[in-house]
Chains A and B, each alone.
Chain A
Amino acid sequence: MDSILRAAGMYVALMLLFRVAGRRSLADLTTFDFVLLLIIGEATQQALLGDDFSFINAMLVIATLIVLDVGLSLAKLNSKPLARLLDGHATLVVEQGRFLHQRMRRARLTEDDILESARDSQGIEHVEQIKFAIVERNGKISVIPKE
């Protein structure tokens, strides 16, 4: 029983922590982010399994996590407000070649971050060439160039 409670507790706790970390935090996985992610996984694993290394326990933990995750996505399908609450919105950060600085500051984005995405995805050199840059719900920056 406690392995299921543990898995459920961990699911909720991690969801809250990653919400606090913001969607940008682990969006563009640098080498360091990757190592950080591994360490987080390592720290989680102990608390999830306890000292029960049985096959059944591992299956119960995995099943609980999948049930919660699928359940949540089903709930999101049925309730738009819930989906908005959990996933957030896409947010504009560049509009018609103009940075929206206050929004960028709150989203912890610098001009360089946006220009980097623009170069990477669209081969854009200057902000004037960007029609829209949008922080997507998963933290990636989409860039739409001017025609």
Chain B
Amino acid sequence: MNEDELLSRHEPVEEDIRMQERVWRFERVGWYVLVVIILLALAGAFGNGPLSDAQVTSTDGRIQVEYQRLSRSGTTDDLRITVHGIAGKPVKVMLGGSLLREASIETMQPEPQSSISHGEALLLQLGTSRDGIATLYLTLRSESVGTLEGIVRTSPTSAVSFSTFLYP
């Protein structure tokens, strides 16, 4: 800014141009911050994007869970659980952890053959397809904020745990 414009005027209004410069700088920096936030949101830093989509497989490869690493409180999230069992025989899956306790299950497709509570967890019996695979589609909604953990288990040896962070 040239020297003259930098000087605070006293007539007709009392100015504080240094302060005003700070305000202008704040606006400019704030704009860049907003751009960064929007780019992050596009990338999925607040859910539903490449940064947030995640997949976890149990060590023996029998369970595969697709979930959202980051999400927001009050929104619905898809959770897909694939279990490899024996063809034609039903497979038992246990859903547990704070995620499945805190969140309400909005939909569950396909309907499990049986569904019973098992302590704080949920024990489901799923029918398998001809190749021995059972897939369960869940939509979850949680009102809480913070990190929630989910556990999916079919047998003592094959289990996966995953966690979701929920923004307010």
Q: Mark A residues whose CB is within 8 Å of B.
A: 9, 16-17, 19-22, 50-51, 84, 88-92, 95, 100-103, 106-107, 132, 134, 144
The majority secondary structure among interface residues of chain B is helix
30 A-B pairs within 8 Å (CB atoms) are namely: A9-B168, A19-B27, A20-B26, A20-B30, A20-B31, A20-B33, A20-B34, A21-B27, A22-B27, A84-B16, A88-B20, A89-B13, A89-B16, A89-B20, A90-B13, A90-B15, A91-B17, A91-B20, A92-B9, A92-B15, A100-B5, A102-B2, A102-B5, A103-B1, A106-B21, A107-B24, A132-B12, A134-B12, A134-B13, A144-B12
Contacts of B16 in A (CB 8 A): 84, 89
Which A residue's beta carbon lies closest to that of B168? A9
Known: A19-B27, A20-B26, A89-B13. 14 other contacts (CB 8 A): A20-B27, A20-B30, A20-B31, A21-B27, A50-B74, A84-B19, A89-B16, A91-B17, A92-B9, A102-B1, A102-B5, A106-B21, A106-B24, A144-B12
Contacts of A50 in B (CB 8 A): 74
Complex Cα gap A110–B147 (Å)? 49
B14 on interface, CB distance cutoff 8 Å: yes
Q: Mark B residues whose CB is within 8 Å of A.
A: 1-2, 5, 9, 12-17, 19-21, 23-24, 26-27, 30-31, 33-34, 74, 168
How far is the CB of B137 from the nearest CB of chain A, in Å? Answer: 24
